[in-house]
Structure 1
């Protein structure tokens, strides 16, 4: 075989330069967005929601003074965080639990009602032999809102409380030392106890069960729904176009070109839309069956199947409309919208509040984020309306309506102008 028959297309620069340039640009965008979104979450923090609960009732200290040390600790925590980075919401314990149950905060810092009383007991016990419990502050992490979010919260809580712990330790040490008889000194154990008087306990609120991938199962299920819509639309588009004779079907060494259909553009697109809905019904059910067989908890399987069907349909319908309007470039547009921009702005592996501001803006309308919120609500938050399900459902329906309107209106205009799907040489 001669070189001319092997590489005739390669001799025309545009034949290979265009794909090289297109792939290079898209992959560079992919690398910049993905790496830029994960490298420094703590540096990107902005308005990271955390509940602060101060239930301390105060008490009379051994020196006879009425005090509320819990309020003092809370003030130290507030002063120790950057309000632009941390959205510290001071609420009661019931409100905090409601926020945790709905995924509105990544965790809570809880100062109990007997905090000051325990501080007083600690100062008295420091000069008397015997064991005593330190006053406790609890950091409740919300694994269901995101594993990395819980890790960031723990770091924030530890940092803020370490500062408050040290300040309270200096205060108590000075008080106890000043009250000692002349010539007496604190023992080494007492000094160590007073230097760090607060016992900081980190514990998960409503821990996730096994089989949830440490809180990642909701993200991967949402990703599967988006891929089913995007990839399913791409496959359906190609196979239906082949069946209608608009493009050839090549299988191995075989090449087949059916007679071209005479249906108008809108009718063709409608057929693809209906096919996508059937795909959505089947694939959503298969996903749940496979997840259940693999041991993933699916507490609301019917709700998940119904939402999954809607999500796949909405993404698939929109993707088909984009390809119908733009043709081959629509494949690239869909890839960018549903995958390249969607994954880093999902808010699943990296919280939106710990991602670059660009991703926070994208998350307002990117399909991946909306699907993730709804799926997370169904899987982790008992399908509560206020835990992301209402928002995700509304945005998914809106996406479906926009996809139908975009494709339907443009196809109707194409048909009205007699822009038939024929080769340019045959166009009227």
Structure 2
């Protein structure tokens, strides 16, 4: 017994400095990662992929073949109104549907087959009654992310409205003296002839969280792996006798079983791999069985979930083993702090600042979310993110194994063994 009152530790400056630095840095980093990534997605948006489909068959006007659809698509491609914020991808309808169905497009603008014939009919000599407006169709893709879909919808709608005004100027110029003979309704339409309609380009089931269930499901998997790593690490240390285990008012201690650092990580990783089977099953039961989340390919979803939890957990165990107590802070930053803003689920990667897009290339949550999104929304297509998810998880597991076991083997060879706290001599120094 030292005879020092416990509350005297509050007079120790190192206690305040260490905890102040750690908590302050965490607060600052989380603010930067979360707020900084989403503070101005429109300004940071670069080359958001949007489809541009010209299905217009054209029409014969004055003895000449005319295609207003060609003029519209060329005008949109050459327009500098959106700068480099939108990456207009000219394609046919089949390609557009395929890429919407793989999450590669955030939206599309479609010029329908009868656009020219409908537009030129407004100025035709036989125009009577209420004319029928030609239509430009804006397609959204909520499955690719609600924010990204909204950004694409706004840009595409603006482009469609500008195209309508351009067509109106051309029709007005072509109509000449005929314009005065047109019905009043037709004259009003000439300046802005096209109606812009918005439709869902890739319909989701009602229990899909407006395209966010994939993100939240993936987040659950990563959090399960991360938190389980902390639990497993502590329980393995207790089982080997290196630490106490407090259960309410009781303090439990087991006899010491000396183990190398490599052996300890191997034991923890084995537990994580096996328990991932249980956790993935219960996550699916909770999300799909109890809460009614729409999901297909359930065996594949379960297998992918098992691997995602196992890889996340083993990665977290590696960081805890290599860095010790500070490892939990590193785990929190890697798997939550830097991961959530860069997952590409809420704000698209194309609307993030460059630093966050760089992080998204290897952050685990983004890779796992892509695979889950493919399974839930895109019929488990490899090109929709599933192949990348598998490859990146395998790469992450290999990297964790090489880094973790390599560093711990070096610790063991250098004699940096774990020494139980009770073998250390006690110091009775009074805090300054």
**TM-score, normalised by the number of residues in structure 1:** 0.93
Q: Deviations over 1:331-365 (max 9, x none)?
A: 11111111100000000011101111111111110
Q: Deviations over 1:162-200 (max 9, x none)?
A: 1121122122223334325xxx46554223211211111
Q: Deviations over 1:246-292 (max 9, x none)?
A: 22212333223333221222111111001111221111111111112
**2:89: which partner in 1?**
89
**2:280: which partner in 1?**
284
Aligned pairs for 1:134-145 within 5 A: 134-145=133-144
Q: Give the match's secondary structure for 2:71.
A: helix
Contact 1:146/1:349 (8 A) holds in 2 = yes
Contact 1:76/1:160 (8 A) holds in 2 = no
Q: Deviations over 1:92-146 (max 9, x none)?
A: 1111111111111112111122221111112227x73323321111111112111
Contact 1:137/1:198 (8 A) holds in 2 = yes
1:264 matched to 2:260? The reply is yes
Contact 1:232/1:279 (8 A) holds in 2 = no
**2:428: which partner in 1?**
none
Q: CA deviation at 1:16?
A: 2.2
Q: CA deviation at 1:425?
A: 9.6
Q: Give the match's secondary structure for 2:5.
A: helix
Distance in 2 between the 1:285 and 1:249 partners? 28
Q: Give the match's secondary structure for 1:202.
A: strand
1:104 matched to 2:104? The reply is yes
Q: CA deviation at 1:223?
A: 0.3
1:227 matched to 2:223? The reply is yes
Which of the numbers 325, 341, 350 marks the counterpart of 1:353? 350
425 and 299 in structure 1: CA distance in 2 versus 1, 3 angstrom threshold:
closer
**1:199: which partner in 2?**
195
Q: CA deviation at 1:47?
A: 1.3
Tell which deviates more after alignment, 253-262 or 21-30: 253-262
Q: CA deviation at 1:24?
A: 1.2
Contact 2:218/2:368 (8 A) holds in 1 = yes
Contact 1:177/1:186 (8 A) holds in 2 = no
**1:179: which partner in 2?**
178
Which of the numbers 310, 313, 316 marks the counterpart of 1:316? 313
**2:337: which partner in 1?**
340
Contact 1:314/1:400 (8 A) holds in 2 = yes
Distance in 2 between the 1:150 and 1:45 partners? 13
35 and 208 in structure 1: CA distance in 2 versus 1, 3 angstrom threshold:
same
Aligned residues: 419
**TM-score, normalised by the number of residues in structure 2:** 0.92
Contact 2:123/2:182 (8 A) holds in 1 = no
**1:214: which partner in 2?**
210
Distance in 2 between the 1:79 and 1:23 partners? 51
Distance in 2 between the 1:128 and 1:265 partners? 86
Contact 1:47/1:83 (8 A) holds in 2 = no
Distance in 2 between the 1:245 and 1:279 partners? 22
Q: Give the match's secondary structure for 1:263.
A: coil
Distance in 2 between the 1:405 and 1:86 partners? 41
Tell which deviates more after alignment, 105-114 or 78-87: 78-87
**2:159: which partner in 1?**
160
Q: CA deviation at 1:76?
A: 2.0
**1:37: which partner in 2?**
37
Q: CA deviation at 1:228?
A: 0.8
Distance in 2 between the 1:224 and 1:419 partners? 36
Tell which deviates more after alignment, 356-365 or 241-250: 241-250
Q: Give the match's secondary structure for 2:122.
A: helix
Contact 1:277/1:313 (8 A) holds in 2 = yes
1:402 matched to 2:399? The reply is yes
Q: Point out where structure 2 has 5 or more consecutive residues left out of the alignment.
A: 425-432
Distance in 1 between the 2:64 and 2:36 partners? 53
1:115 matched to 2:115? The reply is yes
Distance in 1 between the 2:316 and 2:293 partners? 29
**2:251: which partner in 1?**
255
**1:189: which partner in 2?**
185
Contact 1:146/1:351 (8 A) holds in 2 = yes
Q: CA deviation at 1:313?
A: 0.6
CA RMSD of aligned residues (A): 1.9
Q: Point out where structure 1 has 5 or more consecutive residues left out of the alignment.
A: none
123 and 146 in structure 1: CA distance in 2 versus 1, 3 angstrom threshold:
same
Contact 1:233/1:276 (8 A) holds in 2 = yes
